[in-house]
Structure 1
């Protein structure tokens, strides 16, 4: 059974953000799968944990650029939540590198945090961004990319 399934209610309707969220879920599942082995391979756990920390950091940067681009008023609070999670994830990585194990409590936290963050915090910015784009008359999907020069 999959530790963290990807139900359709996690889709925000922003294709690049949804794809990133799906990748984060896949990394969490890969970490859980390795930890669920009778004898987890520390090298694999470390590699997946490092990938999770790096990918999450990059995803947060993309979201924050999107907030800045469209003037999202809750950006400060949302960014602070990103910072708290990044600190927690880095602490796990540093403790793991110091010889500690990643436990099921950490896995439960990852699952709960990401589900809550997508369903509550991320879902909250979607209507604002859609309205900001419509108001600006900007065609196309919500993006974190800079507008192209014409």
Structure 2
């Protein structure tokens, strides 16, 4: 049985930072796996390990992203950090509500909206700083 992907990766999601691209693809893959299991009829409570994996993956992704951005002159680092904490709180609440109410669409809609926004809007704000950081890193590593 061929189940369509919930989020289809698009080339315009790529940014000038290979590790972040790989992490983004991994998170999208985890969300797609969760969607697949739901389509196969699994209950959300059964999928708690996959939901937990999503939370962990997103957590270390944001730590990676912040670490990279902290080495740039990006001015929105503190605001982004506060926003991510808020999003994680929402993710936890939505996950719990989706399990209690047996409504996987609640969780999947939240995840899709969050990640598409992260990939298409949030990265547009700080991608120029990542591009500059990549140029600096490439320049200094060539001269060692």
TM superposition score normalised by structure 2: 0.81
Report the number of matched residues: 139
Per the TM alignment, residue 130 of structure 1 is displaced from its structure 2 partner at its CA by: 2.2
Per the TM alignment, residue 28 of structure 1 is displaced from its structure 2 partner at its CA by: 0.6
Per the TM alignment, residue 92 of structure 1 is displaced from its structure 2 partner at its CA by: 3.6
Q: 1:3–1:29: 8 Å Cα contact kept in structure 2?
A: yes
Counterpart of 1:19 in structure 2 is 22
Give CA-to-partner distance per residue, 1:26-50, whole Å, 9 cap, x none.
111111111122343733x111000
Distance 1:94 1:39 in 2: 16
Q: 1:92–1:102: 8 Å Cα contact kept in structure 2?
A: no
Structure 1 unaligned blocks of 5 or more: 142-146
Q: Which structure 2 residues correspond to residues 1-150 of structure 1 after superposition, within 5 A?
A: 1-40=4-43, 42-43=45-46, 45-95=47-97, 99-132=100-133, 134=135, 137-139=136-138
TM superposition score normalised by structure 1: 0.79
Q: 1:46–1:96: 8 Å Cα contact kept in structure 2?
A: no
Distance 2:101 2:57 in 1: 22
Structure 2 unaligned blocks of 5 or more: none
Structure 1 moving runs of 4+ over 6 Å: none
Counterpart of 1:144 in structure 2 is none
Per the TM alignment, residue 13 of structure 1 is displaced from its structure 2 partner at its CA by: 2.7
Per the TM alignment, residue 112 of structure 1 is displaced from its structure 2 partner at its CA by: 1.3
